[in-house]
A and B are shown apart, each in its own frame.
Chain A
Amino acid sequence: MSELMLPKQKYRSRKKRARIVRLILHIVLLLCSLVFVFPFLWMLVTALKTPAELLRGIDVFFPAKPQWSNFIDAVQKIPFFMYLKNSLIIVVLVVFGTVMSATTAAYAFAKLRWKGRDKWFIVMLATMMLPIQVILIPTYVMYSWIGWLGTRLPMIVPAFFGGGAAFYIFLMRQFFKGIPKELTESAIIDGANHFQIFLKIMLPLSKPAIVTVALFTFMGTWNDYFGPLIFLSNPDHWTLALGLRAFQTQYGGQYNLMMAASILIMLPTLIIFFFAQKTFIEGIKFTGIKG
């Protein structure tokens, strides 16, 4: 049949079909976005409701009188600013430590020739596959022996020694490899040593990769729950993630306050994500394709 159709007709029907397909696609995409985004919206309206409005479910979508005071209540019911301070202390130091240890190791892997380098590189990739539990128990015991339990040190110090940085080292290594050899070679001829090359040439040229590493480390550390749960036994050192959990165990049923507190914790990561979307997406792509 189709062979009998005039070319023009064929073209037209195909165009029409493409339009219908596109319409269906748009509808499906909108529905999917709803599934992904509506929970956030529901979180916000829940955070603004009174307890009575909570019990009425979807009968009240938007609260009659938004209870902005819920946010103040949530902050006052837990030592919020202490948790915030604790989170910031850990996050800042971990980001700094990770960037330092990841860039130096990556420079060694990308630009220097040393014995066993390629073997160590494989070992590094293998550490990504290891279940954390195997390492967790002895490190916990070790920290207790040297008196680090009950301090923040177990959360901070490993970052300076490449703890959990395998992926970042890998990412930085790929980036360094892309920097032309001629640049480092001419610097060596000019009499620069490797430390100067690293500090004056490699790091300034690698800003995008360093930003990626810093952002991912920030997100991971800010959101981390398991590490602090194991190692931060002193409530005065608790981070926001632990604080939110403490809030839940104390005020379990008060979902309006719980959602308000959750929003406050999410806000920094959401804001950073919105401003640095591209960096994130590129970083994630990198994991999948080069990994």
Chain B
Amino acid sequence: MGKTISIIKMRKQENLIGYLFASPWLFGLIVLGFFPILMSFYFSFTNYNMVSAPKIIWFENYRILLTNDNLFWKSLGITLYHVVIAVPLGIFVGLFLAFLLNSKIKGISIYRTLFYLPNVVSVVAMTLLWMWLFQPNFGLINQLLKPLYDLFKMEPLGWYLDQDLSKLTLILMGLWTAGGSMVIYLAQMQDIPVTLYESADIDGASWFKKMIHITLPLMTPSIFFNFIMGLIGSFQVFTIAYIMTGGGPSRSTYYYAYYLFDKMMNDNAMGMASAMAWILLVIVLIVTVFALRLNKYVFYLGEDS
């Protein structure tokens, strides 16, 4: 009898101690997480501008954004363009690099370090560096391409100063950090049991077949992970455009998050900005849910099929 009571007492105590240890984080989650989410939901139905008290205007913000704001649709379109190109391209380059490094040649860890290096650089410094590299008149890239320009008798490309190329310029710069996802791909590739390849060798499978039937299927968890993370990140692209193009030229890189930033910091239109944030959340949620349905094609090793 006395023993069970002390166990119950211990359980109760552990419950308390558990909450105690989690309390700093829990407090943060509630005050800096839950509460702001509710507040931003509320703001999105008001005309709050930091000066006068918020007044509820119901769906007016959403109505204006969706039906009467060209810039909203334009910035959303630009962002979608970025997502649709940058995410698959990033996965492709990351995988390509990982495939290169997944072999038994010398110096692999040195190459891995070199490929990863751009990821530790400040975004501001990285963007300034690529502005200089892409600089149309004196930049390294146009100088290296000069023979090609001469060959095809074309004008040098304007990169971030050309409204048709500005988004692609930012995407290309982003590929410089593909080494981050490469490390994840490579780790997973090296986890694939050698026996699988050995038995495939016995069956006389070619390199290509092994790749399609063994490597790629077993890579799906990390591809999926990078896909989701890439989606979420790309929908929020802001800083690189803020530094390199200022949203231009002709608003060609005026991404959704950039427009939201302007609404918030320049116009103090907190209600409108909150509505934009919620629309973004819903879009990201829908896309993620669709992506999660792809999860059934993801193959987890060590799982009963």
Task: Note whether A and B form a binding pair.
Answer: yes
Inter-chain contact A270/B32, CB cutoff 8 Å: no
Inter-chain contact B129/A259, CB cutoff 8 Å: yes
Are A101 and B280 also in contact (CB < 8 A) when A112-B14, A258-B132 are?
Answer: no
Tell me if A189 counts as interface (CB < 8 A to partner B).
no
Are A142 and B36 also in contact (CB < 8 A) when A169-B25, A259-B132, A273-B117 are?
Answer: yes
For the complex formed, measure the closest distance between the CB of A202 and the CB atoms of chain B, giving whole angstroms: 11
For the complex formed, measure the closest distance between the CB of B26 and the CB atoms of chain A, giving whole angstroms: 7
Inter-chain contact A138/B35, CB cutoff 8 Å: yes
Inter-chain contact B125/A281, CB cutoff 8 Å: no
Are A137 and B277 also in contact (CB < 8 A) when A22-B105, A36-B118, A114-B19 are?
Answer: yes
Inter-chain contact B28/A158, CB cutoff 8 Å: yes
Classify chain B's interface size.
Answer: 35 or more
**Complex Cα spacing A228 to B236, Å:** 17
Q: Which of A36, A109, A138 is within 8 Å of B40, CB to CB?
A: A138
- Taking CB atoms, residues of chain B closer than 8 Å to A270 are 117, 120-121
Q: Which of A36, A165, A222 is within 8 Å of B25, CB to CB?
A: A165
* Tally of chain A residues near chain B (CB < 8 A): 92
Tell me if B112 counts as interface (CB < 8 A to partner A).
yes
Q: Is the interface of B mostly helix, strand, loop or mixed?
A: helix
Tell me if A93 counts as interface (CB < 8 A to partner B).
no
Are A269 and B122 also in contact (CB < 8 A) when A36-B114, A115-B15 are?
Answer: yes
Are A133 and B260 also in contact (CB < 8 A) when A194-B21, A288-B222 are?
Answer: yes
Inter-chain contact A161/B25, CB cutoff 8 Å: yes
Binds B, one of A63-71, A120-128, A204-212: A120-128
- Taking CB atoms, residues of chain B closer than 8 Å to A222 are 122
For the complex formed, measure the closest distance between the CB of B125 and the CB atoms of chain A, giving whole angstroms: 4
For the complex formed, measure the closest distance between the CB of B280 and the CB atoms of chain A, giving whole angstroms: 5
Are A132 and B124 also in contact (CB < 8 A) when A57-B140, A117-B18, A289-B184 are?
Answer: no
- Taking CB atoms, residues of chain A closer than 8 Å to B111 are 29, 32-33
Tell me if B83 counts as interface (CB < 8 A to partner A).
no
- Taking CB atoms, residues of chain B closer than 8 Å to A223 are 120-123
- Taking CB atoms, residues of chain A closer than 8 Å to B31 are 161
Binds A, one of B65-73, B157-165, B209-217, B268-276: B268-276
Are A255 and B21 also in contact (CB < 8 A) when A137-B264, A266-B121, A266-B125 are?
Answer: no
Inter-chain contact A225/B122, CB cutoff 8 Å: yes
**Complex Cα spacing A12 to B43, Å:** 74
Tell me if B254 counts as interface (CB < 8 A to partner A).
no
Inter-chain contact B183/A285, CB cutoff 8 Å: yes
Closest chain B residue to A117, Cβ basis: B18
- Give the residues from 70 to 97 in chain B that come closer than 8 angstroms, CB to CB, to chain A: 97
Inter-chain contact A288/B187, CB cutoff 8 Å: yes
Inter-chain contact B50/A144, CB cutoff 8 Å: yes
- Taking CB atoms, residues of chain B closer than 8 Å to A273 are 117, 120
Are A161 and B32 also in contact (CB < 8 A) when A131-B277, A269-B122 are?
Answer: yes
**Complex Cα spacing A280 to B116, Å:** 10
> Can you report 27 residue pairs joining A to B where beta carbons are below 8 Å apart?
A32-B97, A36-B179, A39-B176, A42-B132, A46-B132, A104-B21, A108-B18, A108-B19, A112-B14, A113-B15, A114-B16, A114-B17, A127-B33, A133-B277, A133-B280, A138-B35, A139-B32, A141-B39, A141-B48, A158-B28, A194-B14, A255-B132, A259-B132, A262-B128, A284-B180, A284-B183, A288-B222
Chain B residues near A (Cβ < 8 Å): 11, 14-22, 24-29, 31-33, 35-37, 39-40, 43, 48, 50, 97, 100-101, 103, 105, 111-118, 120-125, 128-130, 132-133, 135, 138-140, 143-144, 176, 179-181, 183-185, 187-188, 191, 221-222, 225-226, 228, 232, 235-236, 238-239, 242-243, 257, 260, 264-265, 270, 273-274, 276-278, 280-281, 284, 288
